[in-house]
Amino acid sequence: MHLVRTHPSPSPGRNAQLSTHRGAPLDAPSEPATAPTLEQTVRELDQAGHSQRAIARDLSIDRRKVKNIICRAGQEEAAMLAIHML
């Protein structure tokens, strides 16, 4: 098998220039960005109006897991409302 390169490789001088600019930008946040958790993603999709089946399919998880996450979120909301009502 022969591999055919479709674009020219960068020159050695260009590699040296690129290696000096690999640091983070000065205005970048000091903490790395964290990806949302599965629970946060499920809650956001549910609030956006997606069906539980569509959420499960898109995230490749079981429908029962989606249901449990959504029910748990509702229970946590109800508990918070009850605390604020006191």
Beta-carbon-side half-sphere exposure of residue 40 (alpha carbons within 13 Å): 4
* Residue ranges of E strands in the chain: none
CB 70 within 8 A of CB 53: no
**Domain assignment present for 74:** yes
Provide the token pair at 29: 């946040």
Measuring CA to CA, how many Å separate 17 from each of 9, 20, 21? 15, 6, 7
For residue 63, the domain's CATH number is 1.10.10
Mean pLDDT, the chain, rounded, equals: 79
Record the pTM: 0.56
Over residues 24-49, the pLDDT tens digits come to 555 656 666 788 899 999 999 999 99
Q: Domain limits at 79? A: 35-86
**Does residue 78 lie in a domain region?**
yes
Domain count, the chain: 1
